Amino acid sequence: MSLVIEETQDLAACHALRRTVFIEEQGVPEAEELDDQDGGAIHLLARLDGRPVGSARLILKGETGKIGRVCVLKDQRGTGLGAALMRAALDALRARPGISHATLGSQVHAIAFYEKLGFVAEGPIYDDAGIPHRDMRRAL
């Protein structure tokens, strides 16, 4: 099996993955999932043997790279794909001059996953689209 994770302009594939995971599985309202930030973002797409199986979005602001919209299809969860996608996201941020740290808003159930990747939770738990989240941060 061949896994490739790379920056992409294929927003249709990223949107299809996000629709499956966030809108259909998690019940996030479409109006909240599809926002106005995709145009200026960097998108990563994971393909397994050519099939899109995961994606993430990076938004650069000052010295911060915000990693968001991280999703992996249900049949690929627990395979290490999510960690590989996050490592690719961190590498993509490190490749941008002036970006010194990464942030993300983690669903509370996923905090331990991100902690294993060096992120530290900070601030209170908050509601995002009806799902409890907490902000996390790490140096690059």
**pLDDT tens, residue by residue, 103-140:** 999 999 999 999 999 999 999 999 999 999 999 999 99
Identify the band that residue 8 occupies on the pLDDT scale cut at 50, 70 and 90.
very high
pLDDT of residue 1: 81
Domain total for the chain? 1
Q: Which two tokens stand for residue 126?
A: 């908050």
What pLDDT is recorded for position 74? 97
Q: Do 53 and 81 form a contact (C-beta atoms < 8 A)?
A: yes
* Entry pTM: 0.95
d(CA 7, CA 111) in angstroms, rounded, equals 25
For residue 39, the domain's CATH number is: 3.40.630.30
Residue-range definition of the domain harbouring residue 91: 3-139
Q: 23: Cβ–Cβ under 8 A, 6 or more apart, which residues?
A: 29, 30, 33
> d(Cα 80, Cα 82) in Å, to the nearest integer?
6
Residue-wise pLDDT tens digits, 91-108 = 999 999 999 999 999 999
